[in-house]
Structure formats: structure tokens, C-alpha cells
Structure 1
Amino acid sequence: MPLMIGDFLERAAFVFGEREAIVDEPDVSGSLGRITYAQLHRRAKGMAVALERMGVAPGERVAIVSPNSGRFLVSFFGVSGWGRILVPINYRLNIDEVRYIIEHSGATVLLVDPDQNAALRDIDVKIRIVLDGEEDAELFAETDEEPTPWAGDEDATASINYTSGTTARPKGVQLTHRNCWLNAVALGWHAGVGDRDVYLHTLPMFHANGWGMPYAVTAMGGRHVVQRKVDGEEILRRIEREKVTLLCGAPAVVARILDAAAKRRERGEEVPGRDRVRMIVAGAPPPSRTIERVETELGWEFIQIYGLTETSPLLTMNRAPKEWDGKSAADKSHLLSRAGVPVLGVRIRVDEEGELLARSNHVFEGYWHQPEETAKAIKDGWFHTGDGGYMDGPYAVITDRKKDVIITGGENVSSIEVEDVLYQHPAVAEAAVIGVPDEKWGEAVKALVVLKAGATATEQELIDFCRANMAHFKCPKSVEFRDSLERTATGKLQKFKLREPYWAGHERRVH
């Protein structure tokens, strides 16, 4: 049988139909409240039927711009489950960035959260639906009507996930049904996802389809608790109230949780989840001290994974094996700071230039309408991650980033894209954007700028200029003015030299 996205929800509805499936964000427009797996399945079918009535054929792209929501979760199955292609878009992007993705993907439908609707109103798209519980009522209505069967196969594209790379424009990563299916199964197996799990969606659903957790948790009949915005204390409240056992996030999310937990202890309040919660972390390697605090101060199990959108995303996992039992918290945390061992179905090696290469069942099909970029990324069957590192026995260790992508708070930022905006400022002659260590965000975006002769500009002026022209999370947190920037004889920026002073004393060149 082909490996299809619809398998996960179909099984859950059949086996756990009356079990609570989703606890949606309360008190927001379009909230689904609490619904069962049978209701979730009927809503997904209703979505497929509604799209069919709108004339949206299998293979057409349906874009969604939204924070985490029950409706987003339904869309994973209601769109891809019957052959249409989901295009999840980072809701923090500005209108020009979203417009580019809509146009490049050829999306004919745009589903947009009410909070993003006004900012994106001028985007031209054939069908536009606001996810407010009213305008989208038909789209998410429950039905027992069966959508027209789709005769696709597992190599068909399930979603196109746009990611920042080393080019100024994001690339559309084509993930097939087979990619998503095997990624979810591998992640679920290695993380021990079971029917007793309660999963808290702090990780953005647009990030590589929530790393596959919407599929893995659904397949096993776990309960989805949806959190719209990351807030440390609110995360702890929901863990306490809903008896959460599992969550995922970037190191920046871990930092907020630790801060909130410290404030609870100061107030004499209990920190929930001890000996119950496991947290999966990726986006950038967190410091070993942070890992130690998760396991000692919170009493949660820390699991690290490594991967990219292009790999669906799972490549490696670092979860403490029994051989580490009895080790001190500090020693164990140091071992957990490595990227991890290859998961089932993945092969990892390091080439002669120190770049990590991967082969797996869930390496992507290719970049949407960019065959040249695909050929650069996949050579002789091996995907080139762009990350530098080495193998410590079976463990992959990330030491540097060959691509000039900055990961801040779990978000990918293309340095070239930020530089392009800076060059539009009339006072800027040269600009280089790099990632520097940051305790809160992992890496912070820093701009090194050479001004034109006779021109003047302040640090805040350039930051404000960037904020007016691109998503705020991409903008520099600081600007340093230079007389010149190091370049090669052919004029290329030597970013490794520019980064070096800021990373001095750090074992790894990613934070």
C-alpha cells in the first residue's frame, strides 16, 4: 500500500473516534474548542469536499498563513489527504515575502488568520478565506460525505515548505507523502510517541509541518493541545492543566520556560511535569548548561534532534541511552549537546571539506521549480546539509555552518536577504550580516556596515530601516560600523573571518 498522509487520521478516527483529539486555543476567532478524532476526521473530509466544490483540483496549492490553530491542524489532512498541496507560510513574514511565496508556488487558495488579514489584504489570489469561524464556516464544516477518491501515489507532493537559504529568496521544499509518512514514523518511534501522550504545540506548525508531530501524534491517538503564542508561564500552565507529556521547540523556547519556572520557584509555586514531560529541541544546539537545567530544575527529559526542512526534517536524535544511566547531570548534559545518532533509515557521513551529508527515506523531492538548486543540494544521492561538523563515533557533532544562514530563536534568516535590504539604504556602501552568540536566541543577527564617503547613519536608523522593509525577526539586533570588510581577491566576503572574533572561546560556531 502507498504511504499516504491520510493514513494517520483515518487510523485515529477508526481506533480512537470518541477520544479527545484537539484542545484548541481558547477565546480566539475560529477556535474549534475541544473536538474528538471522529469530529476531526469529519472536518478534514468537509474541507476536502469544500475545496472540491470551489473547483480546487488535486495538485493545486493551498497556502495558509496562521499561528498554531486547530484549523491549521485540520488543514494538514483536509488539504494533503485528498491530493492537494499545502503551502504553510511563516506568519511573521511581511506582505512582499508572503506575496513572493504565493506567486512562486502558484497557490490558488490563501487561508489567512484574522490577525494577519489586514496586513496581507492586498495579495492577489484566486480564493481568499479568513480563518475566523464565519467566513470559513463551510470550509471546516463536519460532513459524512466522502470526498472524491484521489488516485495519487506516495511520491506525490504533500506540501511545499519555504525555507530561507543562502539565496535572498526562499526556496520551496517539496515534501512527498512518502517523505512525511516515514519522517513521522521515525520521529514517533524514536521519541516513543504513544496513545497516552498529550502533545503541546509550542513549535510552529509551519516549521517543516511541525517537524511531523501533527502526523505522529495523530497516528497514535495522542491529544493535541494547541498554543498560539510562545509564553513561558502559559506553557507551564497548560502542562499543568492538560497533563502534557511531550512538547518541541527551539532553544529560545527552552529559555523562556526556564525563566518562567524560576519565577514560579521564587513565588513558592510548583513547576509541573517533573518525571513526566519530555522536550524535543532543535533549531540550534543549546549550551550543555541549558540542557542540565532542563533535566535538573524542571525534571524533564531533554531530547535533541537535528535536521533541515529539506529532510522533513529528522536526521539524527540524541536521547540518553541506558549506558548513560548513573552519569552526573553535567556529564550527561555534555553528551546530550551533540546533534545525535542517525535515526532509522538515515545515513550520515562527513565529506573531505567537513560538510555533513545525508541520505534517507525522507530527503525532499526537490526545490519547487528550481532544478538547478536541487542539483546543487543533492549530488550522487547525498543531500548536502551546508553544516560543518564531524562524527564522534555514531554521534554527529555540528561545529559550523557552511551556508550563511543564521538561526535565531529557531527561525532561519538568510544573511544575503538582510544585506540586500541594507544596501537599499542610501548611506550604506557595504554590508555583511552574520550570526553572533546570544544567550536568549541562540544567535543574533548582526550587521557590519561600511558607510558611503560623506554619508551618516546611526545604528538605530539602519535597524528601523530594516524593520520597515522585512519581517522583524530577520532584522539586525545590532549594527557595527567598519572602515572596510574582509574580502577575497575575487571580491567575496570572508564571513568566517568576520564571525571569528565573536565566537572566540566557543567550541562550536553555532550556539
Structure 2
Amino acid sequence: MREIVLDGSPEPVLELTEALHAALNDGETVLPLAGTDPSCAALRAAMAPEDPVEPETAVLIATSGSTGEPKGVLLSAAALRASATATHERLGGEGHWLLATPACYIGGVQVLVRALLSDTEPGIVETRGGFVPEAFTAAAAGVLNEPGRHYTALVPTQLAKLLEDEVACEALRGFDTIVLGGAATSAGLRARAADAGVRVVAAYGMSETASGCVYDGIPLDGVQVRLAEEGDGIGVIEVSGSVLAHGYRRAPERTAESFVDGWFRTGDLGRFDGERLEVLGRADDMINSGGVKLAPALIERVLLAQPSVAQACVLGMPDEHWGEAVVAAIVPAGGVGGPDEAALAAAVRAELGKAAVPKRFERLPTFPMRGPGKVDRGAVREAMGES
């Protein structure tokens, strides 16, 4: 197994690209790791790189997922190729890719795989000092100067930051498509991108599906989606197709539980709006307040539609009367006065009903994050409990 530790600089990414090329052609299994992540040593130890690798594994993605428990996702060359090929078919053809997200995660790995299948050299954003518009703009210039189609992948927080910078926004307009993944994309952010002339597509997927497998609610070619345990049109999302991983590292029981008869049980809730899949967040995050089951994602969506709210995280907190009480953490929008809690409550009530209205609002300066663009809901819960 070939381990590659990434630190936000281009050199290890170039090494990873070379290793991925070999792995896609029956070479050594690749294990990318985030050297800047405090959990890097623990994740590496959990992957047991000294032990034999499960057959047909081209890339091993080490992740703590949404639970914080280390796990290794086993991806074959066939799954990685199938994902990249289906993405190109959906976007309009192969092209030049700019890597702007960490390459230790599946989204970054797939940017490199897509570049390899396009026989192009990927652009690389320098992120050792954090993600800044100036570094993105500089790296984008080299990619956009190449003939053909141009793509990049971002998480919503990156896009929001770039849209605030005039020069970076001009660079964004040069890309044929920007794939947004890692976290839910709010309607407000999509509207801002559209108003700026920036073309985006929201991708839903995970390491187990070799990155995004549903684009703007429509599965990629070769991908099937269904809902299990449906009730009121909402169910647990299950995915099938050639993009699936073949299991978890040294975890046969977990593999047997999650991969059944060619279907992967995601643990996410969803519903169909016509032919489009709407993702409602983790099943474990559902709130049962007074016997009414509520999806936090739907409440967050209403809150994020308010101009005074930059970020929202809705949780169920223990409550003697309700069982769980709906509470909302809010990051106020920059340059806007603090949110009017009565107005926020009224908006939620009008859209989702009285039961969905948060019993308490808490303002935080920022949200702790886990992985690429994902809010660390457990850390937010701790912050809410301490307040």
C-alpha cells in the first residue's frame, strides 16, 4: 500500500496523481492522508497499512464519516473509472480540472481521476495557508488558458467566499461547470451564483459511491437510487450501480450491514420531488418532538433563505416536556444586523408548521467543521449545551 501524506501544497498532489495513475492500471493501492488533520495518525493506524489489502482495491479512503469513528472505504479502479466517466457524460465531455478541495477525500481524489481519464494535467490550488480567493484565481488562470472544457469542484463555503471576491468571481465564470459537494447547497447560494453568471451543479454522494453520484437530484447514468422504509414519502436512501465501493477495510460485519444485494444503505434520508431526489440529511439527525418527526435539513433550508442568516444548524436537544426540543444555532450574515428571532420563527411556522419552530435560537460566530465543508453537528451540540 502506498501512503501519501498531503499538506495543502502541490508536490504531494502530483505524487498522488502519479500513484492514482498506477493504481487505475493494476498498480499498488493508494492511501491518501491529510497530514494537517489532528486525527491523521489515528486514521492511519485504523487503516493498518502493514496488513494485506482486500482484493481489487485501487484506493483506500480513510474517513471518520459523520460519526467520528474511523473507517476505510475500499474503491476499485472500475468504480473510480465508472464515476469519472459518468460525470463527464453528465457535464458535457472530458476537460481540464482544477483541484481546490483536499485530495485526501474522495471529492479531491475524483478530480484527479477525471483529469487522468481526460489525459490532462490538473491545476492545483495552494491551500497550505487556508483557502483564499487569490490562490484559487492564480491556479484557475492556468487551467482556463488551456483549450477545451473546464471544470472544478468546490464545497459551498468555498463558493460563497469566492463569490464575494470580484476577481475570483470572474475566474468562476470561466468554468463550464462547478461541481458543488461535501455539504448541502442552499437555494440562496445557488441564486447568488446564477446572478453572478456562475454555472453550478449540486452533487450528492460519498466515499462509498466514489464521490457524487446524483447531480441536481438526478442519478448519473448507471446509478440507481431507491428509498427504503418509506413513510410519508420519506425514506433511507439506497444506491446501486458500478460506482459502489466493495466494502470497508478490515470490517466484514460493517460491510455486510451496509452493502446488501448490490445496494448501499447510505443512512441519509430523502424523498422524491418528481424524478429528482431531495436529500434531507442523516436519519440519525431526525428530531422527534412531541411525537412529531422533523427533518433538520428542511428547517435549516427555511432559515438559510432569510437574508440575516449565513449558516444554520438545527438539532434536537433533550427536553422533559417534548422529549426533544427543536433548537437552532445561527451564524449571522456578514454586514447584516442580528437575526430577528420572531421573524425566523414566523418563517419556519409558515413553511413547515408550528411543531418545526425552534424553541431556542443560539448565535455562534462560526460553526466547527468536520471534513470538506461539513458542519460538525456534535461540536455544535456541545456548544449549544454549554450556552
TM-score normalised by structure 1 residue count:
0.52
Report matched runs for 1:218-367 at 5 Å.
Answer: 218-229=116-127, 230-240=131-141, 242-243=143-144, 245-261=150-166, 264=167, 271-274=170-173, 276-297=175-196, 299-318=197-216, 340-353=217-230, 354-367=235-248
Matching residue of 2:280: 399
Q: What is the distance in 2 between the residues matched to 1:240 and 1:233? A: 11
Distance in 2 (CA, whole Å) between partners of 1:172 and 1:247 is 26
Amino acid at match of 2:35: Y
Q: Distance in 2 between matches of 1:76 and 1:392?
A: 37
Secondary structure of 2:229's counterpart equals: coil
Partner of 1:169: 69
Q: More strand by proportion, 1 or 2? A: 2
- The answer as to whether partners of 1:275 and 1:301 remain within 8 angstroms in 2 is no
* Superposition RMSD in Å: 3.6
Decide whether aligned partners of structure 1 residues 228 and 341 sit closer, same or farther in structure 2, where only a CA change above 3 A counts.
same
Give the letter for the 1:355 counterpart.
V
CA deviation string 1:416-438 (max 9, x = no partner) = xxxxxxxxxxxxxxxxxx99565
Q: Partner residue of 2:7? A: 66
Q: In structure 2, how many angstroms separate the alpha carbons of the residues matched to 1:166 and 1:241?
A: 35
Equivalences, count? 296
Partner of 1:207: 105
* Structure 1 partner of 2:362: none
For residues 215 and 272 of structure 2, the distance between their equivalents in structure 1, rounded to whole angstroms, comes to 14
| Mapped partners of 1:105, 1:276: distance in 2 | 36
Distance 2:72 2:154 in 1: 22
Residue in 2 aligned with 1:379? Answer: 260
Deviation, structure 1 residue 259: 1.6
CA contact 1:233–1:257 (8 Å) conserved in 2: no
From 30, 44, 54, the equivalent of 1:102 is: 44
Q: Does the residue aligned with 1:480 lie in a helix, a strand or coil?
A: helix
In the alignment, the residues of structure 2 paired with residue 403 and residue 92 of structure 1 have an alpha-carbon distance, to the nearest angstrom, of 29
Structure 2 distance, partners of 1:233, 1:390, is 39
User: What is the aligned partner in structure 1 of residue 88 from structure 2?
Assistant: 188
Q: Which amino acid aligns with 1:479?
A: A
Which segments of 5 or more consecutive residues in structure 1 lack a partner in the other structure? 1-59, 110-151, 319-339, 408-433, 441-462, 468-472, 484-511
TM-aligned CA deviation for residue 189 of structure 1: 1.6
The structure with the larger Rg is 1
Identity %: 20
Alignment match, 1:83: 27
Instruction: Flag the 1:404–1:171 CA change in 2: closer, same or farther, 3 A.
Output: farther
Change beyond 3 A, Cα 1:209–1:251: closer
Give, in whole Å, the separation in 2 of the partners of 1:401 and 1:439. 24
* SS of alignment partner, residue 400 of structure 1: strand
Q: What letter is aligned with 1:295?
A: A
- Shift of the alpha carbon at 1:179? 1.0
Q: Aligned to 1:271, what secondary structure does the other structure show?
A: helix
> Match of 1:397, SS?
strand
Report the alpha carbon displacement of residue 367 of structure 1 after superposing the two structures with TM: 0.6
Maintained 8 Å contact 2:23/2:59: no
SS in 2 for 1:367: coil
Assess, with a 3 A threshold, how the Cα gap between structure 1 residues 370 and 233 changes in structure 2: closer, same or farther.
same
Deviations along 1:218-269, whole A, 9 cap, x unmatched? 22233411112121233234334542631101101101101222xx59xxxx
Instruction: Confirm or deny: 8 A CA contact 2:98 2:111 kept in the other structure.
Output: no
Residues 98 and 276 (structure 1), Cα distance of their counterparts in 2 relative to 1, 3 Å cut: closer
Q: 1:66 to 1:108 in 2, by over 3 A?
A: farther
| Distance 1:251-1:180 versus aligned 2 partners, 3 A rule | same
1:164-190 deviations in Å (ceiling 9; x for gaps): 235442110000111111111111221
- Structure 2 residue identity aligned to 1:252: T
CA pair 438-185 structure 1, distance change in 2 beyond 3 A: farther
Change (3 A) 1:349 1:259: same
